[in-house]
Structure 1
């Protein structure tokens, strides 16, 4: 179970000030993060440590992370918003 203090902290770290990232990360942390297992929660926190420009490229599908954990998290976030 994730406590409200941690969720609040993650919410603010998910707000990057770049609209393209904010519309992906903020809803993800609000709606999905709590239901993730501990490993995926750690992957999300690791993603938040990345540079905005790197994340922008990954989420715009102009590249992908070399790190398998980051690649998994980027794919998980994109799968939520892309039509099937």
Structure 2
């Protein structure tokens, strides 16, 4: 990642993107919603562009696949983990 990309990656997200991201994170399984709600309670004030992108990547998964990751039943596939998802997943799991 180049310096300009890293700087953008570490920038906080604005309120509008945060609002859209929260809407995007609404899931069909209550268990997923509980993990995500706790994540936002802890980290929404410091959420970066990179973390938001990783969260959007996770939201592309099916509810059951996401729950398997959150409950540590499986780990992310290599192509998924390379997008900052592994670090974000650790935050979601704690």
* Aligned CA distance change for structure 1 residues 33 and 45 (closer, same or farther; 3 Å): farther
Q: TM-score, normalised by structure 1?
A: 0.74
Shift of 1:27: 3.2
RMSD: 1.9
**Is the 2:13–2:47 contact (alpha carbons within 8 Å) kept by the matching residues of 1?**
no
Structure 1 segments (4+ residues) deviating >3 Å: none
Structure with the bigger RCO (C-alpha within 8 Å, sep 6+) is 2
Which residue is equivalent to 1:74?
A: 89
Given that 2:39 and 2:91 are in contact with CA atoms closer than 8 Å, whether structure 1 keeps it comes out as: no
Unaligned runs of 5+ in 1: 80-84
Larger radius of gyration: 2
Residues 3-54 of structure 1: per-residue CA shift (max 9 Å, x gap): 3222221111111021100011123235413413332222122112222111
